[in-house]
Amino acid sequence: MSAAPVRSASLPSYDEASSIVAERAVEVGRRPAAERVDLGEAVGRVLAEPVRADRDQPPFPRSTRDGFACRAAEASQHKSLIVAGSIHAGQPPAGPLPEKAAWEIMTGAPVPAGADAVAMLEHVERAGKVPGKIRLLPPHVLEPGENLVPQGAEARAGDEVLPTGIRIGAQHIALAAACGCAVVRVFQRPRVAILTTGDELVPVGAEPGPGQIRNSNGGMLAALVAQAGGQPWILPTAADTDRDLDEALGQAVAADMLLITGGVSAGKFDLVEPALARMGARFHFTGVRIQPGKPLVFGHFAESKHPGAQKRGTPFLGLPGNPISSAATFLLFGTQVLASLAGSRPSGPPFVLARLAKEVKGKPNLTRFVPSYCKFNPGGGDLPEVRTVPSQGSGDLVSFARSNCFLVVPEGTDRLKAGATVRILLV
């Protein structure tokens, strides 16, 4: 770790940089303050206290079929059973079940005491008038426990069913609802400052003058931050001057995390690293052997060096300005730091396997992350099929918008052949 923005002679590889980030993420990680939100608003939030089952799940032995509750041994003799009653979902438990009898039952209803299985409607014949008799048709036989879920088989009253730190998805909302949690305690979202830099940038609503372009990174990063569980705080774009950068960084350091885009390459107007250094930044790396994103800078402001910084340090990422480089480096590294600040369980970037449709070349000293399109239903039960999207490079937003993932071409790979099993990073 250096206190000055010295470009490393030998940059870390993707894996090395990723471990550095993971380690530092733990160091700057903290337990955020909690707040209560309605369950309906909780998707994407991080649970701040466990959810416990308020009663057994299921709360009664639940039939999973429409049919007849019975004793498996009796029914499997294929003799007639008297239908002793009928129950549907929502009715209080009935029974007990008399000997040599069955109980008509609907899916979701409590299985009457004494019954140990449910014969499916499709597997029985009915005889006689209502209430009548039923018989399990050969060759069907029943095992005890078939077509019912015993009370408490999923969870017992008081069991922790959702731990602190999970990112709440639809499946967790369903379970919390089943346990009566109309309101849940979640961590407050970390505030992530997004500082775009560059003299060429104008806001989305403005008409660009000659040589100017619209700021597309601000909105893109805000979306990525929100997706990753953070609260984006978009600052006004800073010009490529020391004064502007110093002022903007001075403001941004109050955030929980800081993303800066542009100005981290080796050009004459790449002034971000010196500005960070003036603020007392500690650099963990300044460059990674990846493409795109090689100039990526990662570090933190220590509270001792900067009174405005967070107690455990305010982490920052200086992302290269090219939009695809910004997106890739945030997804690869920024999400790890953010997860740690958000109080969520570490999971790492979502890499999955796919089958490569067409050959792709590698680079000797760089891991490539190539915008690609993955088809998730290739047919034939094969892996998802991925192909790169034709592109004009890391600034080609039109091509990026046609992609849904990055293909990983590991460092030192001469080429990935068509048909190879490859890793992709989902966007």
Residues that bind ligand AMP (CB under 6 A): 196, 198, 200-201, 213, 215-218, 261-265, 267, 270, 320-323, 395
Q: What is the DSSP letter of 181?
A: -
The CA angle 192-196-197, to the nearest 5 degrees, is 145
Q: Which residues bind Mg ion (CB under 5 A)?
A: 198, 262-263, 321
**Binding site partner of 164, from ligand AMP, Mg ion, none, Cβ cut-off 5-8 A by kind:** none
**Binding site partner of 217, from ligand AMP, Mg ion, none, Cβ cut-off 5-8 A by kind:** ligand AMP
Report in angstroms how near the CB of residue 39 gets to Mg ion at its nearest.
44
- Chain centre to alpha carbon of residue 298: 23
Q: How far apart are CA 27 and CA 347, in angstroms?
A: 16
Report in angstroms how near the CB of residue 220 gets to ligand AMP at its nearest.
8
313 and 253 Cβ atoms separated by less than 8 Å = no
Report in angstroms how near the CB of residue 397 gets to ligand AMP at its nearest.
8
Q: How far apart are CA 255 and CA 297, in angstroms?
A: 18
Q: How far apart are CA 58 and CA 150, in angstroms?
A: 7
Neighbours of 391 (CB within 10 A): 18
Q: How far apart are CA 287 and CA 2, in angstroms?
A: 13
Give the torsion through C-alpha atoms of 259, 265, 269, 272, to 10 deg.
Answer: 30
Closest CA to 370 of 345, 388, 352, 385: 388
**Binding site partner of 265, from Mg ion, ligand AMP, none, Cβ cut-off 5-8 A by kind:** ligand AMP
Q: Where are the alpha helices (DSSP H) in 279-381?
A: 323-329, 335-341
Residue 426, amino acid = L
**Binding site partner of 176, from ligand AMP, Mg ion, none, Cβ cut-off 5-8 A by kind:** none
Report in angstroms how near the CB of residue 64 gets to ligand AMP at its nearest.
54
Closest CB to ligand AMP among residues 261, 291: 261
Closest CB to ligand AMP among residues 323, 343: 323
Report in angstroms how near the CB of residue 41 gets to ligand AMP at its nearest.
31
Closest CB to ligand AMP among residues 11, 356: 11
Closest CB to ligand AMP among residues 196, 403: 196
**Binding site partner of 335, from ligand AMP, Mg ion, none, Cβ cut-off 5-8 A by kind:** none
Closest CB to ligand AMP among residues 112, 292: 292
Report in angstroms how near the CB of residue 215 gets to ligand AMP at its nearest.
4
Closest CB to ligand AMP among residues 217, 314: 217
**Binding site partner of 201, from Mg ion, ligand AMP, none, Cβ cut-off 5-8 A by kind:** ligand AMP
Three-state secondary structure call for residue 113: coil
| Distance separating the N- and C-terminal Cα atoms of the chain | 31
Report in angstroms how near the CB of residue 267 gets to Mg ion at its nearest.
7
**Binding site partner of 50, from Mg ion, ligand AMP, none, Cβ cut-off 5-8 A by kind:** none
Report in angstroms how near the CB of residue 257 gets to ligand AMP at its nearest.
18
Q: Which residues of 326-342 are buried (b: 16+ CB within 10 A; e: fewer)?
A: bbbbbbbbbbbbbbbbb
- Chain centre to alpha carbon of residue 237: 29
60 and 105 Cβ atoms separated by less than 8 Å = no
Closest CB to ligand AMP among residues 178, 222: 222
**Binding site partner of 320, from Mg ion, ligand AMP, none, Cβ cut-off 5-8 A by kind:** ligand AMP
Instruction: Indicate the residue whose CB is closest to ligand AMP.
Output: 321
Closest CB to ligand AMP among residues 304, 392: 392
In sequence order, which residues have a C-beta less than 8 Å from that of residue 329 and are 6 or more positions away? 290, 292, 293, 296, 317, 319, 320
Closest CB to Mg ion among residues 110, 262: 262
Is residue 171 within a helix (H) or strand (E), and if so which, with residue range? helix 170-178
**Binding site partner of 293, from Mg ion, ligand AMP, none, Cβ cut-off 5-8 A by kind:** none
Report in angstroms how near the CB of residue 272 gets to Mg ion at its nearest.
9
